[in-house]
Each structure stands twice: as structure tokens, then as C-alpha cells.
Structure 1
């Protein structure tokens, strides 16, 4: 089976089901996809990512997604890395970003907003509507924390005296938890 944009989106959604299963189910219906197709896409992507014969780094993403919409360099502290962005139909306002190290290895992969963070209010925290940078910029004192699984991120912040943890998968907002209710 050829692995393309549709399968890549399904592979991303497979991990998103960890935190936002209902949203993924709605997306599957909109795409006319089945849970079996979701699982198959995840299995195929994982196999390709760990195969000794499959392309690595940017080449793997190019094989699945075609040429990037943008390629350039990105400064991370004192390091300069390559960056590539792809447009995905299920998230048209965002870009899927891959940061690559000097040897072409993938350092990070997640959703970003072109042009940087957008203004965000607490009421704007709707699943799949914002990215890590949006939440980090919107809430003073926000701190980035490790996620609970691969490709998960957390941003901790306080709003009106209550501590929260915004949960992300591939940098895309999934849900909000009260920090006091969360042992992690």
C-alpha cells in the first residue's frame, strides 16, 4: 500500500486518540476512514520510521507528503538546523514542521502556526484549534513540561488562580487538565 498524505494524517491521529478519542472519531467519519485504516496507517508509518531500508529524515517525510511547502533554516540557541513545513488537509491553518539536525536526523516534528503564535484566550482552548506556541504566548509564566508518551507535550500555566496543564500531541492542542487533579 502506498503511504501518502491521508495515511500520514491517520498515523498522527492514531497517537491523538490517546487524549482526544472523540475528536479523532469525528475526523475519521469526515475522512470516510475506518479504525482499521487508522491502525494500518500507524503500523505502516512506524515500520517505515524504524526500517533500515526506508528513507530517513526529510526523505521519509518527502516520500509520504511530497515536497515541503517551505524549507529553510531555524536557529535553536547556538545551533542552526534545517526546517521543513508541509500543509495537511485536516489542519489547513497549520503546518507540520520537521526540524532536522546537522546530520539530517529528525530532532522534532510537530504542528506550528505560520507567522508565529496567535492571540488566544482561555475560552479559545478548543481541541485541534491551537499549537504549543499559541498557549505558551497567551498565558504569562507558562512552562513547557514533558508529555506522558511519545510525541506528547504539556504546557503548564495558571489562569484565574487555578493551575492547568494543556496537553498536546504532535504540538496540536488536545485537552486541558487541572494540574491539581493530575499526578503527572
Structure 2
């Protein structure tokens, strides 16, 4: 039997492959955490790039009104049926919110908010409904992979979103107290909605 740790970079199918897509966007920020995750998954580092290449190829092959956009069926093809699907008002429209388990982060869920035709309007990691959210009181509480974008925004309002360095990366600018209680202007960077790092402006 060929081990997934051999030199062949072909990513395994299913949820593992999609988790590699998520990790590919995080690698530039947290290479040590990504390397540890790859060991947990039992896949070689080269599988990251290949999984991302196949995912991007799948999106580029889609036609319709939003070429290149992910749809609910794209996520379901790798993650399987959603753990839950709920309806939510979105302005004057109604959207379907799909959530899947991601074994690397058992306290999180991958959430895709999909509109007309199943096109994903948002796609990111959120806290599982039955999982305890982290306590975020100061900037020192912001640990890599320790909170989601929504949790950081709620902890330190008003948070101002900004564009990131690549797709599925974005920033939040906010003011948070340091350990001495002094307010600090901070910018946090997220990939797929999960905190990667933050800096004091």
C-alpha cells in the first residue's frame, strides 16, 4: 500500500482534500501550524498546492452567471452532505446557510451562505453552535487559529473589514486594549474566516 506521506503529491479525495484547500491559504501566515496539520492528516506538503490547483480548476470550469464562483454543490462534492441547512434573510432576499464539519477544527464548522443558483456569497469557518467561544478581552487573547472573524468583530467593535492579499483572505481593523489596559489600534488578518495573525498599527 502506498502511504500518503510518500512523494506523490496527489491529494486524497473528500474532506481531507478540502481541508488542504483551506490550509493552502493559511500556509504563508502560519507554516508551523500548517505543517502540524499536515502531519495530523497524513499527507505530504506537496499535496497542498495540488489540492488548491484542482479546486481552482473546478471553479474555472463552471459556467453560468458567476463563472469561477463556488457553489453549494462544489463544497458538497468534497465535504459530503451538509450537517445543517437553514434559511436566513439577507436584505430583501433569502439565502441558504450550509454548514459542514471539518475534522481539523472540531469546534468549528465550514459555513457557506448561498444565494440564487447555490452561488456562495460567503464561505468561511465559524464556531460550532455547541462549542464555547474564546474569551477575547485584550489583544493578547488573539491567538493564531484561536478565533473566527465574527468573534473578533464582536469582541472589539467597531471592526472595519479590509481586503486581504489573496482570495479568501481579509483583514479587520479595530481597537483593543493591551495587557496594561491601554487601547491599541490593531489589524488582524484572516484566511477562510480564521485568525492568522495581528499587528499593532
TM-score bracket, shorter-length normalisation:
0.7 to 0.9
Relative to structure 1, is the Cα distance of residues 140 and 105 closer, same or farther in structure 2, using a 3 angstrom cutoff? closer
Q: CA RMSD in A?
A: 2.3
Rounded Cα–Cα distance in structure 1 between residues aligned with 2:156 and 2:132 = 12
SS of the equivalent of 1:74 reads: strand
Q: TM-score, normalised by structure 1?
A: 0.88
CA contact (8 A) 2:73 2:118 kept: no
2:188 counterpart SS class: strand
Give the gaps of 5 or more residues in structure 2.
1-9, 64-69, 177-181
- Structure 2: distance between partners of 1:149 and 1:42: 13
Give 1:16's aligned residue.
26
Shift of 1:117: 8.8
With 110-119 and 29-38 compared, the bigger mean Cα shift is at 110-119
Q: For 1:150, which of 167, 170, 176 is the aligned residue?
A: 167
Q: How many residues align?
A: 179
Match of 2:184 in 1: 162
Whole-Å separation in 1 of the counterparts to 2:76 and 2:127 = 20
| 2:157 matched residue in structure 1 | 140
Q: 1:2-29: per-residue Cα shift (whole Å, max 9, x none)? A: 6310010011101111222221112112
Q: Is the partner of 1:154 in helix, strand or coil?
A: strand
Partner residue in 1 for 2:136: 120
1:140 Cα deviation after fit: 2.8
Larger Rg: 2
3-state DSSP of counterpart to 1:60: helix
Q: Do structure 1's residue 129 and structure 2's residue 146 form an aligned pair?
A: yes
Query: Within 5 Å, which residues of 2 pair with 1:71-110?
Result: 71-110=85-124
Q: 2:200 corresponds to which residue?
A: 178
**Aligned equivalents of 1:110 and 1:33: distance in 2?**
23
**Which residues of structure 1 form unaligned runs of 5+?**
180-184
Moved over 4 A (4+): none
Whether 1:67 and 2:85 are equivalent positions in the alignment is no
CA deviation map 1:114-149 (0-9, x unaligned): 339934233331111110111001113222222222
What secondary structure is seen at the aligned counterpart in 1 of 2:118? coil
Cα offset, 1:73, TM superposition: 1.2
